[in-house]
Amino acid sequence: MLLLAACALLAACGSSGEKRLSKDEYARRADAICTQFNRRQPSAPNLQNVTVKQVERLAAQTIPLLDRTIADLRRLAPPKDEQTLADRWIASLRRLRVDAANIRDRAHANDLAGVGALVGPSQQDEHSAEQLAARLGTKVCSRPS
């Protein structure tokens, strides 16, 4: 079950760009990007029979999705007074990407203890990203996917 919990970290969403958007428009566009991420995200394996290989595959498939999501969100220009918060959100998403890569690598090495040790910090990073997204007014990005 710890292995599947590691998969939960692999959701979330971020910000930056040219013409500044209103707070509502920024949140709307960010949510559209997060919706695309959620649609493309691979399904989590069955909790009862999850294997290290399934976790490795899920993490490996999720990393490019996170990369695209982060890049798309960075293209958005939040309101000037929200820029610092949006930058913190992007940074939290980058931490999630690092978490996913670490989980993939530990799973590839068949290191169950290593994967398990990454679960708690990864869940904290995901929660942090969701809280920052909520402060930016998002609805989709601020929910676990």
Residue 99: inside a domain? yes
> Are 138 and 15 spatial neighbours (Cβ–Cβ below 8 Å)?
no
Domain range enclosing 103: 2-8+20-135
More confident residue, 96 or 145: 96
Over residues 6-38, the pLDDT tens digits come to 444 333 333 344 689 999 999 999 999 999 999
Looking at residue 70, what is its pLDDT?
98
Looking at residue 18, what is its pLDDT?
60
CA distances from 63 to 19, 68, 81, 90, 92 (A): 28, 9, 30, 15, 14
Over residues 75-124, the pLDDT tens digits come to 999 999 999 999 999 999 999 999 999 999 999 999 989 998 998 999 99
Q: How many separate domains does the chain show?
A: 1
- The pTM for the full model equals 0.83
Residue 69: inside a domain? yes
Q: Return the CA Rg of the chain.
A: 15
Q: Cβ contacts of residue 16 below 8 Å, gap of 6+? A: 73, 74, 75, 76, 77, 78, 83, 86, 87, 90
Residue 13: inside a domain? no
Residue 144: inside a domain? no
Residue 120: inside a domain? yes
